[in-house]
A and B are shown apart, each in its own frame.
Chain A
């Protein structure tokens, strides 16, 4: 079960003709799929489309009613491969994952799919993780469309446009026998708004029906000689068909006056940013009525040269607004300008920065300098006039600390890395590689562990050069998500086959946690539609790895340290694998908190633990924090003139995972930590016993106090 439940929102997916849907972009896409008769859906979670997978999972009942098959694919490659159903069958299918990393993983399947060509509409919904808030390398999915010749939609980022793009995408796919990628940027995935709904449409041919009547078409198999024919088919038939469809259905849009000295060509996803810049320059109103013509590319691949030429006619110059690099569209259009001998001047990356997000400021500044250079007459006087000097705002760049993501309060991964830090204090620094997932936060302070991340499931594989061993053993870390995504074969199969001398730590937190807590094969939850509870250690044994240590409570820092030390020093032949298992605290709390509150209310016995620090004992050296980084373990300035440095302090968000106490104990830090466990609704006997104890303890301590001077609580 995922971190966020969409059960309530899923009801909106049942809206029919004449209804109004209000909500997030991701949900709108889901609704659009159902309205367009999709036959099967799948994908792999990851920001920013994790919620799409969660919505689909929560909407399984509704989809079953419609005869739509939902598959939570094992990876993006598996999702891409699933679209094979649309190759031979006239069934619409859609898969989703994040771009460009998910597209990387899926590219093998997507390339084959594109060569085969499709019969039913095949839609790949990609959440492009680019710009602020992105967690991955900054690249463009655009290149994949070009190399494999599938079509790329980049609709304007509002709900009606995105919903329309889903329908357009299916039709375009079918009209041109080509898969279509629908790209939605991070913010567009989470943008809220409204659109008019239509009835959901059951697929005309369901996947179940198709199984009863198997079909095959030799021409669509990617083998010579068909593969040669397919390349020609792409260029000679599918491409022209796509161009025809895009033109006839006006998928690209033009806004603004017919006559103007300049114009702007933009990706659909950039449209709102362009309008905002024009609004601020006094050249557009709040409804988007603009005095600078805009050619908005809701289809960014393929480009339609004649549409572009028509837009340029009569204009002196045109600015291309294309985010990211390389500037594929600009290069493409430049080719046409040269080939056709057009007179228009082309601007783009000469004004815009080549790299990085087109933020509001970038957009505003670039469009302003374009207009100042090419059409100053358009700009209103107040823009042309020099700005009045703004008051000097003090520079805070040295004051405000950076706030990188880190482990949550009570995260079970923290003690693993605390233990690793302790082992390294004993045995020296090691070569450590990491994977994709929450554990990668260990590479940041305070742990500073691990120096590479090469891809999902590739953590141990990225240490392969060191598999032969040496004076010290290489260590790699991988999450359970990465393990099942690709790790079992690419990392562990690789280690085993090559007789690796290395050590791998599998962080098993019961979920694909970083992407939002989705279930995976080894999840402990019972999931009615998925197979869970398949232990990782059994999979390891299955591929022949015999040195496997299962740790069932990662919070035992001393034990965790000892197991790591053993793995790094044992004479037993490698590979050595530690499966460190404890439930993701975010998900655990979400699951247990309501149950606990209910139990207390019903009068059942409940222990509510929390940790604390004795301020008088803490000396303020913060060693505990350097081994923890827990958000609830913070600092507090004392009102004591004798003390200069703030002391450790634990706030109310503590979930009593015990890591701080365990670390203080294992690393011999200090005796400041205590755990207070409030017992709600104790039994009569327990309360009586405690009463007696407290009376004796109280008497003893009062007696001691009576014999000495005391100044009240020194804290």
Chain B
């Protein structure tokens, strides 16, 4: 057995140990960052120990790295292998929700922790699969960080790194140096990068940018409610521009709060078809405005301006063909891909017979629809995946011709169906307005449920119908608007409509018991 050490009074305990944890998403280079931190500490005469938990977490999961360091002395220091809640000096979070996770796990405390976090998001699967908007609220993390951290550095270190042509581990290393939380000079950090030997120049650039960003402490969040697109003047032939002017004049005559949304809606609708279609849009909106007033901040008209535009600019083949053959689209893709010379472009499409028939004149289309065997025959001819190389002339021309045919659209079966659907919806909602203003607003917003193509579109329509039906049943109740809003929210929670079913059952139960 070892000789026991003599009894002693412990010295100033563990104050000499610096504890640093890093939370990253697999693949963010947390291992590289850890290596650099170790190297800089060792070069400055510190004893240092790093650990990580590898394994499956490396595959896109959340991964934690942990480093402890203390001035090197004759007697080795006993380091811990894992961070402990309430006992972390520096917390680096390579993503905003990982910062949230660090706070949640108690690794960020007001008495000691410097929190360095990147505000960018790498969305978790659960946030992305929701049919509506399932993105977690970063503002809540930001607010918690401001309470929990002793000192706080927040910036989009991912962008900082990308702009420098490097990866986030380098910009975070720069932020760590810039935070002053470690007692080492900047040059020592840079030497650690040089000693690493890989991608030294881009890493040093990202390091410098991260260092810089850290000087500014907390950078404000990008305002979510950016003003509607800066309205660039439209371009086109003089005849159409004159017609556009007339429409704009009509918009400026509208109540101020309604104007921005109407501007956006009008642009969408006119871009979808033509100025005459835009005039129809404003006519429909006039019906809404006639029922509205400043007492409710024009909520009905604003919802109308938004959703009537979306309903009128439905997704058909003409629109897709148009979107895919615009010159500015090609320019944008080239810029995004960094293409300066040759770039091949392949579109993945899968038209079905239904879409083709819906382009035909309404009468002919219905005639075919009434003949299932013919309809099926057409579908067999059409229904398959088609890849179009739109950097080549012929495939491009196919789409170009379709896009040019949009003057035809208003005679198509699809348009006829869409207009019937639109009218029914708008009539139903506006009929409620005099009696229950709030319910009318929510009924307009149900339009949000219609989106996607083919099966997804059909499912959306189904949900739309069920919610509208429920809205009519709820009509007359004081809480009708509130329930319709809840129905929309639950319809957007999952694909199959399970949550919607639940909400509908609840509504059934109280309507039945009341009835």
A-side residues, CB < 8 A to B, are: 22, 47-48, 50, 129, 132-135, 157-158, 185-188, 190-193, 247, 250, 252-259, 271-273, 275-276, 279-280, 282-291, 293, 307, 310, 359-361, 363-364, 390-394, 396-397, 399-409, 438, 441, 444-446, 514, 558, 607, 610, 612, 614, 616-617, 619-623, 625-626, 629, 631, 633-635, 637, 639-646, 652, 661-662, 664-671, 673-680, 682, 686-687, 690, 693-694, 696-698, 700-702, 704-715
Known: A359-B84, A622-B131, A711-B267. A682 touches B341 (CB 8 A): yes
Given the known inter-chain contacts A619-B315, A677-B343, A678-B338, please indicate yes or no for A252 contacting B1, CB distance below 8 A: yes
Taking a contact as CB atoms under 8 Å apart, the answer to whether B348 and A287 are in contact is no
Q: Which residues of B contact A686 (CB under 8 A)?
A: 342
* 4 further A-B pairs in the complex, CB-CB below 8 A; given A289-B11, A634-B122, A701-B400: A158-B79, A280-B87, A614-B324, A676-B336
Q: Chain A residues with Cβ under 8 A from B237's Cβ?
A: 706-708
Which one of B122, B226, B333, B350 contacts A668 once the chains associate, using CB atoms below 8 Å?
A: B350
Interface status of B187 (Cβ within 8 A of chain A): no
Interface presence of B403 (CB below 8 A) = yes
Contact across chains for B8 and A190 when beta carbons are under 8 A apart: no
20 residue pairs from A and B, CB less than 8 Å apart? A186-B53, A188-B51, A250-B1, A254-B4, A257-B6, A276-B84, A286-B17, A361-B106, A392-B147, A399-B137, A402-B126, A403-B25, A631-B27, A631-B122, A642-B261, A642-B265, A642-B306, A675-B344, A710-B236, A713-B326
Asked whether A671 lies within 8 Å of B234 as measured between CB atoms, the reply is no
Interchain CA distance A392-B109 in the complex, whole Å = 10
Q: Is B385's CB within 8 Å of the partner chain A?
A: yes
Q: Which of B60, B66, B147, B265 has its CB near the most chain A CB atoms (within 10 A)?
A: B60
B330 to chain A, nearest CB (A): 8
Contacts of B456 in A (CB 8 A): 621, 623, 669-670
Interface hits, B206-238 → A, CB 8 Å: 224, 226, 228-229, 232, 234-237
| Binding-face segment, B172-180, B388-396, B425-433 | B388-396
Query: What are the residues of chain A within 8 A of B274 when measuring CB–CB?
Result: 708-709
Task: Select one of A257, A286, A631 contacting B7, CB under 8 A.
Answer: A257
Whether A405 contacts B350 in the complex (CB less than 8 A), given A640-B264, A709-B235, comes out as no
Given A625-B128, A714-B271, A687:B451 Cβ within 8 A: no
* CB of A463, distance to nearest CB on chain B (Å): 23
Task: Let me know if A622 and B130 touch, CB within 8 A.
Answer: yes
Q: A397 to B327: give the CA distance in the assembly, Å.
A: 47
Across-interface contacts of B63 in A (CB, < 8 A): 133
Q: Are B324 and A399 in contact (CB under 8 A)?
A: no
- Distance, CA A500 to CA B78, complexed state (A): 57
Q: Roughly how many angstroms separate A185 CA and B15 CA in the complex, as a whole number?
A: 27
- What CA separation (Å) do A286 and B11 show in the bound complex? 9
Per-position 1/0 for B5-29, Cβ under 8 A of A? 1111111111111000000011100
Identify B492's interface contact among A514, A635, A643, A645, CB under 8 A: A645
Q: Which of B98, B270, B342, B452 contacts A682 (CB 8 A)?
A: B342
Query: What per-residue 1/0 map shows which CB atoms of B410-430 lie under 8 Å from chain A?
Result: 000000000000000000000
Complex: A157 Cα to B78 Cα, angstroms: 10
Task: Establish whether residues A623 and B55, one from each chain, have CB atoms under 8 Å apart when the complex forms.
Answer: no
Tell me whether B52 and A190 are in contact (CB under 8 A). Answer: yes
Q: Which residues of B contact A185 (CB under 8 A)?
A: 81
On whether the beta carbons of A407 and B385 are closer than 8 Å, the reply is no
In the complex, are the beta carbons of A255 and B75 less than 8 A apart?
no
A residues near B374, Cβ cutoff 8 Å? none
B110 at the binding interface (Cβ < 8 Å) = yes
Chain B stretch 320-373: residues in CB contact (< 8 A) with chain A? 320, 323-333, 336-339, 341-350, 352
A612 to B344, CA, bound (A): 13
Q: Given the complex of chains A and B, what is the CA–CA distance between A711 and B235 in angstroms? A: 7
Nearest CB of chain A from residue B495's CB, rounded to whole Å:
6
Q: A286-B77, A289-B10, A558-B385 are in contact. Are A670 and B452 (CB under 8 A)?
A: yes
B109 → chain A closest CB, angstroms: 7
A678 and B339 contact, Cβ closer than 8 Å, known pairs A286-B14, A641-B260: yes
Do B81 and A157 touch across chains, with their CB atoms under 8 A apart? yes
Q: Which listed residue, B81, B104, B108, touches A188 by the CB 8 Å rule?
A: B81
Given contacts A192-B38, A617-B323, contact A285 B10 (CB under 8 A): yes
Residues A403 and B70 in contact in the complex (CB < 8 Å), given A157-B81, A360-B85, A394-B144:
no
Contact in complex: A671, B453 (CB < 8 Å): yes
Residues of A within 8 A of B51 (CB): 187-188, 190-192
Q: Which residue of B lies closest to A185 (CB)?
A: B81
The answer, yes or no, to whether B509 is at the interface (CB within 8 Å) is: no
Q: Check A286–B16 contact: CB distance below 8 A.
A: yes
Contact at A700–B78, with CB atoms within 8 Å? Answer: no
Query: Which residues of chain A are near B234, meaning CB under 8 Å?
Result: 709-711
Q: Counting CB contacts under 8 A, is B482 at the interface?
A: no
Q: Is the CB of B342 within 8 A of A621?
A: no
Contacting pair B104 A445 (CB below 8 A):
no
Q: Is B254 an interface residue (CB 8 A)?
A: no
Given contacts A629-B125, A652-B162, A676-B337, contact A191 B81 (CB under 8 A): yes
Q: State which residues 74-93 of B face A: CB under 8 Å.
A: 75-87
Q: Is the CB of B13 within 8 A of A284?
A: yes
CA distance A585 to B235 in the complex (A): 46
* Cα separation A316 to B411 with both chains bound (whole Å): 95
**B141 in the interface, Cβ–Cβ < 8 Å?**
yes
The 8 closest A-B CB pairs, nearest first, are: A360-B84, A133-B53, A47-B55, A665-B385, A619-B451, A661-B348, A405-B61, A288-B78
Known: A399-B141, A403-B25, A623-B456. A192 touches B344 (CB 8 A): no
> Contact at B57–A133, with CB atoms within 8 Å?
yes
Q: Which of B268, B309, B346 has the most CB atoms of chain A within a 10 A radius of its CB? A: B346
In the complex, the answer to whether B4 meets A258 with C-beta atoms within 8 Å is yes
Q: Residues of B contacting A254 with CB < 8 Å?
A: 1-2, 4
Q: Are A646 and B133 in contact (CB under 8 A)?
A: yes
Give A248 to B455 CA distance when docked, in angstroms. Answer: 76
Query: Is B397 engaged at the interface, CB distance under 8 Å to the other chain?
Result: yes
Known: A403-B61, A622-B129. A709 touches B275 (CB 8 A): yes
- Contact at A396–B104, with CB atoms within 8 Å? yes
Report how far A247 CA is from B226 CA in the complex, Å: 73
A674 in contact with B327 (CB, 8 Å): no
A698 and B327 form a contact (CB under 8 A): yes
B301: interface (CB < 8 Å): no
Check if B454 sits within 8 Å of A668, measured CB to CB: yes
Contact among A133, A665, A700, A709 with B270 in the assembled complex (CB-CB below 8 Å): A709
- Closest chain A CB from B61 CB (angstroms): 4
Interface centre among B1, B310, B391 (most CB of A within 10 A): B1
Contact of A400 among B97, B261, B338, B349 (CB under 8 A): B97
> What residues on A are CB-neighbors of B106 within 8 Å?
361
CB distance from B260 to the nearest CB of A (A): 7
User: Any chain A CB within 8 A of the CB of B279?
Assistant: no
- Give the distance in Å from the alpha carbon of A630 to the alpha carbon of B237 in the complex: 44
B327→A399 contact, CB < 8 A: no
Q: Of B25, B75, B100, B235, which contacts A705 at CB under 8 A?
A: B235
**Does B298 interact with chain A (Cβ within 8 Å)?**
no
For B101, B267, B350, which residue has the most chain A Cβ atoms within 10 angstroms?
B350
Which residues of the partner chain A approach B137 to less than 8 Å between Cβ atoms?
A: 399
Does B304 make an interface contact (CB < 8 A)? Answer: no
Contact B85 A673 (CB under 8 A): no
Pair A360/B229 contact, Cβ less than 8 Å: no
